[in-house]
């Protein structure tokens, strides 16, 4: 199944995508986060009710970020494709490190999340180094702490796509940690929907791509990850409870703008596409916004 959040008749509703149809879930489900929190009984009841629920064409709705209510920061993974780690060697402005022996985790503010076709906010007064990062994102469905690696995928509710837009100079200006440079408002496309594990199949066999203005910049299989999705979940949950609705970005492959020669950063008007045939596609335009102005 493919679960989404849509805006229909000026109201946001959780929904199921069925081909060109959008099946609107009953008003008892306030948002997709409530469906996720409902666990397997929620999925089973929705699956049973689908034939009787209202259907509209996908052209009649606006897809927004599938998850709009976050329990905490978006969880992220850095340096999880070796090619990406090594492509930036010597280009981290004095902040190079040895190859990690364990996954590298960091947080990202929920206010970054935008829909699959929304504009990516851009303000050169904040930074001149806006970069793209195509990623597969995992949505946790079942609570757990210190989850064994062999059981980690049992805690996954579904998979979606994200573009972890990063301001490289800001990222390095605050002690070398990444929170600030990756937490700018309205900069992380998420979606277009969440694909359940039974529909996706093997999450370590997904081809992930990023195109900027039609030029292929990133292309890799999730099989190339330094640490598998199961390993990420197990390591992250060690001593730390994961909750239904938590979103975990699993890292980006090589091809980022910062590592190219010459460097290729995003500019006002650029079109950025992140896609995976097994999941869907994000298509967003970089658009000038007054992020540096007080609000």
**Residue pLDDT, tens place only, 41-72:** 999 999 999 999 999 999 999 999 999 999 99
Rounded CA gap, 115 and 78, in Å? 23
**Higher pLDDT, residue 271 or 92:** 271
pLDDT given for residue 155 in this prediction: 98
Checking if the pLDDT of 73 tops 80, the result is yes
Let me know whether 58 and 86 are in one domain.
no
Let me know whether 55 and 101 are in one domain.
no
Rounded CA gap, 116 and 63, in Å? 7
Q: Which of 215, 225, 228 is nearest to 260 (CA)?
A: 215
Does residue 254 lie in a domain region? yes
Let me know whether 195 and 239 are in one domain.
yes
The enclosing domain of 187 has a CATH number of 3.90.850.10
pLDDT given for residue 175 in this prediction: 82
Let me know whether 125 and 219 are in one domain.
yes
Residue with tokens 């199949």, as numbered in its chain? 201
Does residue 92 lie in a domain region? yes
* Residue range of the domain that includes 41: 2-64
Let me know whether 48 and 111 are in one domain.
no
pTM for this prediction: 0.97
Which residues on adjacent β-strands are paired with residue 106? 76
pLDDT digits (tens, 9 = 90+) for 91-148: 676 667 788 999 999 999 999 999 999 999 999 999 999 999 999 999 999 999 999 9
- For the chain, give the percent of residues with pLDDT over 70: 99
Q: Among 64, 85, 118, where does a domain finish?
A: 64
Let me know whether 10 and 134 are in one domain.
no
Average pLDDT, the chain: 96
Q: Among 33, 64, 95, where does a domain finish?
A: 64
Does residue 69 lie in a domain region? no
pLDDT given for residue 289 in this prediction: 98
pLDDT given for residue 93 in this prediction: 67
Does residue 295 lie in a domain region? no
Check if the beta carbon of residue 178 is closer than 8 Å to that of residue 128: no
Check if the beta carbon of residue 185 is closer than 8 Å to that of residue 112: yes
pLDDT given for residue 88 in this prediction: 80
Does residue 293 lie in a domain region? no
Which residues on adjacent β-strands are paired with residue 160? 137
Let me know whether 35 and 101 are in one domain.
no
Rounded CA gap, 170 and 128, in Å? 9
Does residue 58 lie in a domain region? yes
Q: What is the number of domains present in the chain?
A: 2
Rounded CA gap, 152 and 140, in Å? 10
Does residue 31 lie in a domain region? yes
Let me know whether 33 and 83 are in one domain.
no
Does residue 193 lie in a domain region? yes
Let me know whether 220 and 269 are in one domain.
yes
pLDDT given for residue 27 in this prediction: 85
Let me know whether 80 and 59 are in one domain.
no
pLDDT digits (tens, 9 = 90+) for 180-232: 999 999 999 999 999 999 999 999 999 999 999 999 999 999 999 999 999 99
pLDDT given for residue 176 in this prediction: 80
pLDDT given for residue 62 in this prediction: 98
| Of the candidate ranges 24-28, 62-66, 162-166, 285-289, the one whose mean pLDDT is the lowest | 24-28
Check if the beta carbon of residue 178 is closer than 8 Å to that of residue 171: yes
Q: Which of 192, 199, 12 is nearest to 116 (CA)?
A: 192
pLDDT given for residue 143 in this prediction: 98
pLDDT given for residue 123 in this prediction: 98
Q: Among 64, 86, 113, where does a domain finish?
A: 64
Give the Å distances, CA to CA, from 213 to 34, 264, 269.
37, 12, 9
Check if the beta carbon of residue 101 is closer than 8 Å to that of residue 179: no
Let me know whether 40 and 105 are in one domain.
no
Let me know whether 103 and 240 are in one domain.
yes
Peptide bond into 125 cis (omega under 30): no
């Amino acid at each position: 199944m493919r679960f989404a959040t849509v805006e229909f008749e000026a109201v946001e509703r959780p929904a199921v995508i069925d081909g060109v149809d959008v099946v609107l879930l009953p008003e008892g489900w306030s948002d997709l986060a409530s469906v996720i929190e409902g666990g397997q009984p929620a999925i089973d009841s929705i699956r049973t009710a689908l034939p009787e629920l209202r259907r509209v064409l996908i052209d009649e709705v606006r897809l927004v970020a599938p998850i709009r209510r976050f329990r905490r920061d978006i969880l992220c993974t850095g340096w999880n494709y070796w090619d990406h780690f090594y492509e930036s060697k010597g280009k981290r402005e004095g902040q190079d490190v040895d190859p990690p022996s364990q996954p590298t985790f960091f947080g990202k503010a929920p206010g970054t999340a935008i829909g699959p076709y929304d504009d990516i906010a851009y303000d050169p007064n904040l930074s001149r180094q806006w970069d793209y990062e195509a990623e597969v994102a995992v949505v946790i469905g079942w609570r757990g702490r210190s989850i064994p690696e062999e059981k980690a995928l049992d805690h996954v509710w579904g998979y979606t796509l994200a573009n972890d837009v990063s301001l490289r100079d800001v990222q390095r200006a605050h002690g070398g940690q990444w929170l600030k440079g990756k937490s700018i408002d309205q900069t992380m496309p998420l979606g277009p929907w969440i694909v359940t594990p039974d529909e996706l199949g093997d999450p370590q066999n997904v081809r992930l791509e990023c195109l900027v203005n039609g030029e292929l910049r990133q292309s890799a299989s999730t099989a190339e990850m330094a640490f598998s999705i199961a390993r990420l979940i197990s390591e992250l949950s060690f001593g730390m409870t994961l909750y239904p609705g938590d979103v975990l970005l699993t890292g980006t492959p090589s091809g980022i703008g910062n590592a190219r020669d010459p460097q290729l950063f995003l500019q006002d008007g650029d079109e950025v596409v992140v896609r995976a045939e097994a999941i869907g596609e994000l298509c967003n335009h970089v658009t000038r916004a007054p992020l540096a102005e007080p609000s």
